[in-house]
Structures are given as C-alpha cells and as structure tokens.
Amino acid sequence: MKGKKERGSISQLLDYAGERRPFAYLGCALSAISMLLGMGPYICIWFVAKELLAVAPQWEMAAGCTQYGWLALLFSAASLIVYLIALLCTHLAAFKTASNMRRRSAEHLLEVPLGYFESHASGALRRTIDGCAGETETLLAHNLPDAAGSITLILGMFVTFAIFDWRLGLACFVSIVISLIGISMMMGGTGAAFMQRYEDSLVAMNKTGTEYVRGIPVLKVFQQTVFSFRVFHESINAYSEIAREYAVDYCRVPQSVAVTAINGVVIFLIPTVLFLAPDEQDLGLFLANLTFYAVFSAIIPTSMLRLMFLGKMTQMAGVSLERVSAVVHAPVLSQAAHTETMQDNGIVFDHVSYTYEGATNPALSDLSFEIEPASTVALVGPSGGGKTTCASLVPRFWDPDEGRVLVGGADVRNLDQSQLMDSVAFVFQGNRLFRTSLLENVRAAKPGATREEVVQALSAARCEDIVAKLPDGLDTPLGAGGAHLSGGEIQRVLLARAILKDAPIVVLDEATAFADPENELLIQEAMSKLAAGRTVLMIAHRLSTVVRADKIIVIDQGRVRESGSHHELLAQDGLYARMWADYERAATWRIARSSKQATTQPVQPAGGVA
C-alpha cells in the first residue's frame, strides 16, 4: 500500500481502467496536440496584422489575408476535432475506471463478514461506492486532458517568446506566474487533510440523511422538524462550516489574486508597450506582436482555470480513492486451506470471546454452551447481554476473537462458506422484505423453488390470510407502489422463507418482536412447524415463547449465568426467576379507572401467563 501511495492518486486510479488505461494517455496527448493546433489561428492573426500594417494604408495590397483566414479556420476545425477525439478517449478510460471501482467494491463486499454491514451504514457505503467512484469520472474525463492542454499552452508560450517579442511574452507570463502562486496557495492551504474532512462531512451527511428520511414518519407523528433530528442537523451544520471555511479562509484572498492576475494581463501588457514603443525601430512589427499577445492572452484565463480545477479534483479523487480502497481492502472471511465436513446439526460454543470494533468492553467473555442436534435452545437475558452476538457468530457474521464456534463438530471457520450458509436459516428482527412480489420474496431462500413449494411454505408459516387479502395473491408486489404488511405479517413471511430453505439449523432472533397477540400465536405455530426435526437457536424477550424450549440459557454481560429447562430455572430462584416474575407482572398489567381518576395497576394472575 505504501508503494501505491507514492505513485500518486491518478496513477492508482488508472489501475482501475484496466485495458483502457492507454486511452487516458492517448486522450491527454491528443488534448495537448489540440491546444497546439488551437494556437494556429492566433499565429494567423499575427501574419494578417503584420501584412496589413506593412501595406497601410493601401489595404487592398494585403493579398494574403484571405489565405490566412482559411488557414485559421482549418486550424480551429482541426483543434476541435482532435479535442473531441481526445475527450472520447478519456471518457472511455474514465467510465471504465468508475465502473471497475464500483464492481470491485461490490464484489469485495460479497466476501466480507455480514457483520460488516452492521457497523457500516448503507448511506455511507452508497456514498463511498457510487459517489466517490463518480467523482473520479470528471477528473479523468475532463480535468486531466484539459490540464495536459493547459500545460502545453504554457510551454508553447516559451516558444512564442523566441518567435515573436520575448518582452511582451514575458509581460503576459508574469500574470501566469502570479496566478499559479495564488492557485498553489489555495490548493496547498487545504491539502489532503482538508479534503479528508470535506469527504468525511459528505459521508456523514449522506448517512444521517438516509436515517432521517427513514424516520420521517416518526417525526411527523410528533410534529417535529429537522432540528429535532439532532445528528442530521449537526451533520448539515458541520458540512456548512467546512464549506464556509474553505470559501472564506482558504480561497478568498488566493483566488482573488489568481483571478485578477489572469484576467488582467492588460495590467502588465500595456505598461510594457508604453515603455518599449518609443524606442522601436519597426513600429509595424511591434504592433503586430502586440496584436498577437493581446488576442492570445484571452485564452490564458481558461487554461489557468483548468489547472485550478485539476488541483481540486486531484485532491478529491485522492480522498475518494482512499475510501474506495478501504472498502476493497476490508477484511474478508478467512478460508481454511483444508475444509471440514459437518457430522451433525449440533452447535457448540467453546470458550468464545468477542469484542466489537471500537468497543472497550467485550460482548462475549469466555462463553461456552452446547446445543444438541434436533433440539431447541433459547437464549434469554437482559438487553445488551450478548444474545444476538451469539446468534451472529453461527452464520459467521463475525468470527470470535478467542475460542471456537462448532457446527456439526467442525469449526465454522473451517467449513466451506456455501455449505455453512446452506445449513443455516435465520430470521432476525431487523429483516426487511424486498420490493418485489410475495412469491419472489419467499423464493429468495430457494431460487429454484416451484410455485407449489412456495405455497406450502406459506401455509406452514400460517400465511394463508396474508395471501388471501392481497389483490393479486402471490404475485402482489410488496413495499413502495405495492401492498404493505404489518410487522407481525412480515415476520410470518420471513418464517415461510426459512421453512422453504429447509436448512437443518435455524437461528431466530426476536421472531415475535413486532407481533400483536394474534400474530404472535400464528408465529409460534409457524415456529413449531419450522423447528420440527431441526436444531433451533432462538432469542426472545417474551419469555412465554421459550417455556417449551429443551434448554434455556441465561446470558448476562457476555457470560452464561444459568441454564436448564423453564421449571428448573424457576426452581433455582436466580436471574431467570426474577425475569419471569417481571414478565408476569408486565403481561397482566392493565389500566384501571377509579371513581375520581385513572390509575394503573398490575393484576395478580391466578397462575401461568395471562
């Protein structure tokens, strides 16, 4: 990586161009040639002025003016055609570069642990993959060839010093030097560190903006505004402050100097003419030279602005490249040299410890427990105790820092990833449906499933009422522009997807989290169907859903505190017993109204759970 940084951001970007890399070089070369051809008309103007001044006032004797006019037109047309070909070449390289950056990023994301997407928001990833890659297109397609032409123009001016009048040329060159100093002050003052802050603010605003849009229904319910969404508001203010800082602190004075100097060539040219004119022997030739530089100076500001944009875009592209590289080089799931084979469907946590990236305290600490094949084990405990982390380690959303997670007697790190994913079906509380038909949503678990198999899976998940109410049945699109399902209905569809997959191991994380009592009953029936003959690891806060589990494991602060059946844990009178007592009080809580005011009170159950 260090060697790559030393090569420069443009060279690294062109690595993504692949076989189209030569087109970028060809485009820059053609742009330089186009600029040289573009100087032709100005030279023709010099010849015309020289000839007219030589025969003045007998203008009709200037017979060569027509030829110089046609020659100027030829130079202009050739310059335009060559420039268009140059842009065609650079666009081919730029589009391939951006496409490969997006493709390689997306392909690499297929190899990273699924937990990577928990710690990297979708808005930030979208900004990195799509936005940062898109920013490189302008640099390679336009700024780079334009800069090549501008540099050629400056070098061409040195040649004109020898051909025409070096004194007038030097006067024009002074404005270029002052402009370059201003540009370097502006670019050097910001540097890569500033552009890093600028890109960070864009990513943060994109990320929080996505979250804000998703939270608009909540804000509208409580009649709030964007100012109530503090994080989004702060990200906007941060970006605004950086933009203000860039415009006022870094750019105001240097850009004023650069723009004034480059657009005020006459400030240097006219005093030079007034100083030199009295001593000129051939006044006609001197005026012809003045005509050339006066007209030629008109294209200098455009060329200098192109260099200014190149400096800015190069810095931005460098930061964008670093962000894309961070995605492309994100740690991937390790693959064992020699894979193992699952012997059964049991799960074992063997002294597992895991700490999330950036966290100070471990999520799991020396945790061990075993799930027998074809048994149902429930993980319960206080929120933040590590239950979801345990479930995430089974399908390798992350790998443990210490210890092993065994599935079928084999370390999950030594299993073929395809075999592991085929063996595990999981339903998490945050799962979402795709914006496609109900049929394709369920079929996502088994793309080759027939329509009849999907119907059977929906029936097993007790989704008959959902299918019946949809206008087009299985073919009804869901989400935006289609039908909408409640949280409990979505959970039942996700259970149907897991049933269709027919995996021997099932991981359920809060499968009844969004369910009302009626949906919860249907979900529990679907879960019973799903669990038949399979190894089930389930997580639940509603303790009524785990009372029939073969084993209940109580996890708190990343450690196993208790384990046993429901009745065994109640007899131990420990953490689970206290949680059960709290659950019973919450389950029987109701609102009661006295004669004077409304009060809330728990109702003691006669027995069991109400």
Interatomic CA distance for residues 326 and 250, integer angstroms: 28
How far CA 434 is from CA of 210, 416, 443, 459, in Å, comes to: 18, 27, 11, 20
How far CA 325 is from CA of 4, 9, 12, 192, 312, in Å, comes to: 11, 11, 10, 16, 20
More confident residue, 190 or 94: 94
pLDDT digits (tens, 9 = 90+) for 178-192: 877 877 777 665 555
515: pLDDT strictly greater than 70: no
| Of 420, 418, 419, 440, nearest in space to 496 by CA | 440
In a 3-state reduction of DSSP, which class is residue 463? coil
Interatomic CA distance for residues 260 and 213, integer angstroms: 44
Interatomic CA distance for residues 417 and 114, integer angstroms: 12
481: pLDDT strictly greater than 80: no
Task: State which fold the 2-328 domain adopts.
Answer: ABC transporter transmembrane region fold (1.20.1560)
With cut-offs at 50, 70 and 90, classify the pLDDT of residue 136: confident
Angle 67-68-69 from CA coordinates, rounded to 5°: 90
- Per DSSP bridges, beta strands 535-539 and 505-509 are parallel
With cut-offs at 50, 70 and 90, classify the pLDDT of residue 218: low
CATH class label, 347-564: alpha beta
The token pair that represents 24 in the structure block: 């970028």
CB 318 within 8 A of CB 312: no
Rg for the chain, CA atoms, rounded: 36
pLDDT winner (highest mean) among 5-14, 34-43, 209-218, 552-561: 552-561
Q: Which of 101-115, 291-305, 376-390, 577-591 has the lowest mean pLDDT?
A: 291-305
How far CA 427 is from CA of 122, 303, 347, 422, in Å, comes to: 20, 59, 17, 14
Q: Quick one: how far is CA 403 from the chain centroid?
A: 33
pLDDT digits (tens, 9 = 90+) for 561-602: 999 999 999 999 899 999 888 888 876 666 666 555 544 455
Q: What is the structure's pLDDT at 193?
A: 65
| Of 84, 111, 39, 519, nearest in space to 293 by CA | 39
Angle 268-272-278 from CA coordinates, rounded to 5°: 160
φ and ψ at 370, to 5 degrees? Answer: -135, 140
7: pLDDT strictly greater than 70: no
Matching residue, tokens 């509380």? 429
The token pair that represents 43 in the structure block: 């030279």
The token pair that represents 246 in the structure block: 């860039």
Cis geometry, peptide bond prior to residue 57 (ω within 30 degrees of 0):
yes
Average the pLDDT over 269-294 and give the result.
76
Polymer length of the chain: 610
What sign for the dihedral angle of Cα 31, 32, 33, 34?
positive
With cut-offs at 50, 70 and 90, classify the pLDDT of residue 493: confident
Q: With 0-12 CB in 10 A as exposed, 13-18 as middle and 19+ as buried, what is 29?
A: middle
Q: What is the structure's pLDDT at 607?
A: 38
The pairs formed by 395-398 with CB atoms below 8 angstroms and a separation of 24 or more are 395/114, 395/420, 395/421, 395/424, 395/426, 395/507, 396/113, 396/114, 396/333, 396/420, 397/113, 397/114, 397/115, 397/118, 398/113, 398/115, 398/354
CB 44 within 8 A of CB 70: no
The token pair that represents 460 in the structure block: 């097993």
User: Which residue intervals of the chain bear CATH 1.20.1560.10?
Assistant: 2-328
Residue 598: in which H helix or E strand, if any? strand 598-602
Average the pLDDT over 140-157 and give the result.
82
Interatomic CA distance for residues 459 and 444, integer angstroms: 17
User: Which residue intervals of the chain bear CATH 3.40.50.300?
Assistant: 347-564
Q: What is the structure's pLDDT at 90?
A: 92
Q: Which pTM value belongs to this model? A: 0.59
Using the CB atoms, write b or e for 184-207: b if 16+ within 10 Å.
ebbbeebeeebbebbbebbbbbbb
Q: What is the structure's pLDDT at 4?
A: 43
108: pLDDT strictly greater than 70: yes
The token pair that represents 152 in the structure block: 């050629």
83: pLDDT strictly greater than 90: yes
The token pair that represents 401 in the structure block: 């820092």
| Of 500, 369, 518, nearest in space to 425 by CA | 500
Q: Which of 80-89, 361-370, 423-432 has the lowest mean pLDDT?
A: 423-432
Q: What is the structure's pLDDT at 404?
A: 92
Average the pLDDT over 363-390 and give the result.
89
333: pLDDT strictly greater than 80: no
What sign for the dihedral angle of Cα 472, 475, 480, 483?
positive
Give 591's DSSP letter.
E
CB 410 within 8 A of CB 342: yes
